[in-house]
Amino acid sequence: MPSQTEIDRRYRNLRNAMASEGIDCLLVCGNQYAGFEGAVRYVSGFEIVHRYAYTLLPLEGDPTLLFPSEARWIGDKSKPWVKNQVWADVPGKWLRDAAQSRGWKRLGVYGLDYIMPVRDYRELATGSVEAVPFDFQFDMARAVKSDEELDSVYDSMSVIVEGFRKLVEAYQPGRTEAEIMAPAVECFFAHGAGPRMMNIVLSGTHGEAEAHFKVPGGRAVHPDDLLLYSLEITGEDGYWVEFSRPLIQGRMGRQATAMSKFYPEALEAARRLMRDGERASAVHRASAEVFERQGFSLGHLSGHSIGMTMIERPSVGAGSDIELRENMILSFHPQVIDPQGQVCLYTQDTYRVGKNEGECLAEVPWGIYGR
């Protein structure tokens, strides 16, 4: 549980953002899909176990936790610091009526596009309150992490690195992709990650990985299969971190080998620019240009802010001109693609934006593992 000082800091930052946008009340949406539950926990202390929940934070007054009635017995309702709790058959109808009775004109909504259930939006839309998307403002208000939050991030990082080492120990040709992953997942669960995991893989034969993610399954691994496990988890406090390194016993393919030669340079160029006042787009370009000079491109955004939600703003990409601030946490994961869009190489690291340069939180050198 965060300290009262930390809770007050979060609410103060959010209310400042609300006031600047003319928002009467903030509605924070969360559901149990991996990565989408953290915002509710951030503002209330409630850990979603199943289904969904909301937290209402008015510009003035106490916050409220709102649950669908079918979730009454799901999740520990004594754990959150928000003690005003409501169960509604259709939460959207309750929201509509609450907004009407309290005279709210503009309701800022975090999760309007991806998280709020359709049944609730349909009811809310019949009222007089204007639902205003508030995802960007919410994420920017929580992007700079406090010292208390950083302690939790470092704890998550120690867990993911331990899990990666167990994955490397389990790596053996003849085992399946799932069997190799299993010891890492056991480690993550034992350290309190629970369902807050997204562990996927890029893999392929003849030393090259196909350029699409998949769930590790029953395919037996051969010595020349290239495995790029993407480990994405939280620690017990709910802060996400991400990590990946290439894994192969045999020989890497021609294109993967060519890509691998430039990864250290690209990662270091990006890390040096992860500094207070630098634009996120500059970090992306520093890495992308290294690969572009060799005829390769990046498959998607090279990174994003990360916290109690798996993907937060700002993003790290060519069009992201947001200025970075010290103690933002970034997941940086450049996926390099060949000109035909068939073969890739991938890595992930979690960084703290520093005053003059970034800090990589995993003390694991970049390289090819499993040999």
Q: How many CB atoms lie within 10 A of CB 68?
A: 21
Dig out the tokens for 257 from the structure. 């080998």
Tally the residues of the chain: 371
Q: What is the pTM of this model?
A: 0.94
Q: How many CB atoms lie within 10 A of CB 95?
A: 28
- Calculate mean pLDDT across residues 275-281: 97
CA 285 to chain centre: 21
Rounded Cα gap, residues 228 and 221, in angstroms: 12
DSSP single-letter state for residue 45: -
pLDDT at 340: 87
Residue 144 phi/psi, 5-degree rounding, is -80, 120
Q: How many CB atoms lie within 10 A of CB 270?
A: 26
- Report the candidate in 128, 124, 137, 130 with the shortest Cα–Cα distance to residue 95: 124
CA 198 to chain centre: 10
Q: How confident is the model at residue 32 (pLDDT cuts 50, 70, 90)?
A: confident
| Three-state DSSP class for residue 260 | helix
- Calculate mean pLDDT across residues 85-100: 97
Say which CATH architecture domain 4-142 belongs to.
3-Layer(aba) Sandwich (3.40)
- Calculate mean pLDDT across residues 148-152: 98
pLDDT at 341: 85
Domain with CATH 3.40.350.10 in the chain: 4-142
Domain with CATH 3.90.230.10 in the chain: 147-360
Rounded Cα gap, residues 278 and 353, in angstroms: 10
According to CATH, the topology of domain 147-360 is: Creatine Amidinohydrolase (3.90.230)
Flag whether pLDDT at 26 surpasses 80.
yes
Dig out the tokens for 19 from the structure. 């006031």
pLDDT digits (tens, 9 = 90+) for 283-313: 999 999 999 999 898 866 899 999 999 999 9
pLDDT digits (tens, 9 = 90+) for 205-256: 999 999 899 999 999 999 999 999 999 999 999 999 999 999 999 999 999 9
